[in-house]
Amino acid sequence: MRRIAFGGLVVALLAVVGFFLQGVPQGTCSCAVVDPDKAVAGAAAVFIGTPTKVLHGRDSDLYEFQVTEVFSGEVGAVTTVGTSTRTECNTAFVVGRPSLLLVSAPVSAGARWQAHGCGPDVSAAELRATAQITYGPAHPPRGDGAEITTWTRFTYKVPRTLQSLILAALGCIGVAGYATWELYRTQRSAPNESGEGDTIAE
C-alpha cells in the first residue's frame, strides 16, 4: 500500500513538471481579406470602449474595458475581452485608448468576449460608419457586466490544464496521506509476536 501511495504521488508530480517543460507551439498568421460589412454583421457584439486593465497570460491577454457606446450585443458598462497571443495575428490594445471592437464568443479564460487579429483593413471612422448603417445609432451599455476580479488575477497565469494537474496532484497527495495513516494505524493496532497488547484473564 505504501508503494502504491508513493507511486501515485510521483506520477502526479512528474505530470506537473512535464507541463512546465513542454514547449508551446507558435502558429503563423495568414489573414484573408475581410469585408467590413460581413465582419460587422457577423460579430457577436460591436461596441466602443476604453481598456483600463490588462492581464498578460501564457498564451492570451485579458483586458477590462469601460464601455461607452454599443451598436450590437448585450454589453455591460464594464466588460472583459480576451485576445490570443499564440500567433502573429494577436490583437493588442493600449490601456487608456478607446477602440471600436468586433468581438465573438469568449475563448480566453475570464473573458466575456473574444477579439481577433484578423479584421477589416479600414479606418476606425469607416468601421463606425459601417456599424451605424448595419445597426443604427449607438446606444449606452445595458447588458450584464464583467470585470477582472482578484480571483482572476490570482489564477489567470495558471493555464486550465495546469490547474487540472495541480488538483490531480493534490488529490494524489490526499490519497497518499490517507493510505499512510491507515497503514500506520493498522500496524499500531495489530498485536506483536511477543504478545503485547493481549488481555490476560484473571
Q: In which residue ranges of the chain is pLDDT below 70?
A: 1-33, 87-90, 157-168, 190-202
Say how far apart CA 167 and CA 52 lie, in whole Å.
Answer: 32
The pLDDT of residue 70: 98
The pLDDT of residue 46: 97
Residue 120 dihedral angles phi and psi, to the nearest 5°: -60, 135
Say how far apart CA 52 and CA 65 lie, in whole Å.
Answer: 6
The pLDDT of residue 20: 41
Count Cβ neighbours within 10 Å for each residue of 78-102 and write b for 16 or more, e otherwise: bbbbbbbbeeebbbebeeeebbbbb
